[in-house]
Structure 1
Amino acid sequence: MMKNLLKTNLIVGFRSFVYPIYVLIGLVYGLMLMAFPEKYLPTMVPLFLLFEPGLVGFMFVGTEIFAEKKDGAISALAVTPMEWRSYILAKTAIMSVLSVIGAVLIMALGTRSLSGLPYVTVGVFLCSVVYTLLGIGISAKYRDLDDYFIPIMAVLVVSLLPFAHYHGYLTNSLWKVLYIVPSYPALYFFKAPFVDVSRDTLALSAAVLLLWSGIAYHIAKIRFYRYAVEGVR
């Protein structure tokens, strides 16, 4: 069942140009970074990496859910013996792999190097898993992108605050609460190609992202079934 879902999602995603556009965004980000002087790359590359797997993925998976609601795909699947867990995991797997491809393009073009790519790959994959699952769970309640706009903006703002805190713009001790935002541990992986980040910090960051993945999956499973499958408003 999982294999069929992956195949179907890939076919639909490429036919609707959702997946090619997602990869194209990574290409565009990489080309944009080529315009920056090298001294700015340690700051700008992590920011673009955060946008690619997290924030763009959060929006795109919501767009997919809306399209499948409108064309009746979810309603049709509801009468099959399929487990919705497989549906959720299939979408998450595809989006995460596409995010890694986008990250490779960003690194290869933006930095003209693949140094530190293993760190970036791990961080991007885990970050994408979290934000894709959150996107599935949150978007399940809405019918179109207009309704989904406010959640997108809220996630955008909250996810960028750790970036500001990391670079010393938010200095009050109260801002330490931002450590629980999933973009913060991901940021350590994105900075690793440019600055020394200890293995303990990376291990802790991975553990936090895995914890967030479990939380996000629980949210996605409950909300998707309630709002997208059962149609509760």
Structure 2
Amino acid sequence: MRNIVRTNIVLGVRSYVYPIYLLVALAYGLMLLAFPKRYLPTMVPLFLLFEPGLVGFMFVGTEIFAEKKDGAIGALAVTPIDWRSYILAKTLLLSLLSVIGAVLIMAMGTRSLNGLPYVVVGTFLVSIVYTLLGIAVSAKYRDLDDYFIPILGVMVVSLLPFAHYHGYLTGEVWKVLYAVPSYPVIYFFKAPFEEIAAGTLVYSAAALLAWSGIAYQLAKIRFYRYAVEGLR
């Protein structure tokens, strides 16, 4: 596991995926400086959702495409390396990278670290979910062109809970959005700016952990079938 993590770090830096990921977070923090302070309780959670969730979903696919072309993933089928450890290592690295990005956004965008523990926990949990979903979905594709439609679909669905939370989608039918993994993390990202009940945060963490289990099973099945075995 240690060797896989070390290799992923080297590949992520050489391919500029990790540096670009952090530059995106830095850009988000700089963009928040342009907003008046009264808008920060709305805009900071939105930018935090983009950084660990949606950007992470896209970047993990980019990593997998590059490693498919290099033959690194295909080698998993004929080496003693456990491909499940490969999935967990990549998820852990991107989740920790997301936490660093979230800290950058908070520090630069709000000029404060108040409520940072909520943001760190929420970022780590939601990043695990979206990274695993990204692995599960991207495993079937060969390049970013094919992956573009799933990225748009995930982006749209993941932003709908944010609109519902702020009262823009009010019909009973929209309660189905509570099942989307981006909904529970909103409470963690809003906690630095408003009072969120402890029970709500506990339920939100439980929901994200449940989603992590589901996403891991999907990633494990689809990654082995489409990436390791090379089925289509």
TM-score normalised by the chain length of structure 1: 0.99
1:51-90 matched pairs, under 5 angstroms: 51-90=50-89
Runs of 4+ in 1 over 4 A off after TM superposition: none
Structure 1 counterpart of 2:169: 170
Residues matched between the structures, number: 232
Structure 1 residue matching 2:204: 3-state secondary structure: helix
Unmatched runs of 5 consecutive residues or more in structure 2:
none
For residues 142 and 193 of structure 1, the distance between their equivalents in structure 2, rounded to whole angstroms, comes to 39
Structure 1 counterpart of 2:140: 141
Instruction: Check the 8 A contact 2:76/2:83 in 1, yes or no.
Output: no
1:122-137 matched pairs, under 5 angstroms: 122-137=121-136
How far residue 21 of structure 1 moved from its aligned partner, in angstroms, is 0.4
Unmatched runs of 5 consecutive residues or more in structure 1:
none
Structure 1 counterpart of 2:22: 23
Instruction: Check the 8 A contact 2:181/2:208 in 1, yes or no.
Output: yes
Instruction: Check the 8 A contact 2:60/2:135 in 1, yes or no.
Output: yes
Instruction: Check the 8 A contact 2:56/2:131 in 1, yes or no.
Output: yes
Q: Which amino acid aligns with 1:195?
A: E
Q: RMSD value over aligned CA atoms?
A: 0.5
For residues 158 and 127 of structure 1, the distance between their equivalents in structure 2, rounded to whole angstroms, comes to 15
Q: Which amino acid aligns with 1:205?
A: S
Structure 2 counterpart of 1:38: 37
Q: Which amino acid aligns with 1:201?
A: T
Q: Which amino acid aligns with 1:162?
A: P
Structure 1 residue matching 2:151: 3-state secondary structure: helix
Q: Which amino acid aligns with 1:41?
A: L
For residues 174 and 76 of structure 2, the distance between their equivalents in structure 1, rounded to whole angstroms, comes to 44
How far residue 77 of structure 1 moved from its aligned partner, in angstroms, is 2.6
For residues 75 and 222 of structure 2, the distance between their equivalents in structure 1, rounded to whole angstroms, comes to 18
Residue identity over aligned pairs, in percent, reads 77
Q: Which amino acid aligns with 2:112?
A: S
TM-score normalised by the chain length of structure 2: 0.99
For residues 76 and 219 of structure 1, the distance between their equivalents in structure 2, rounded to whole angstroms, comes to 21
Structure 1 residue matching 2:55: 3-state secondary structure: helix
Work out whether 1:224 is the aligned partner of 2:203.
no
Structure 1 counterpart of 2:11: 12
Work out whether 1:107 is the aligned partner of 2:106.
yes
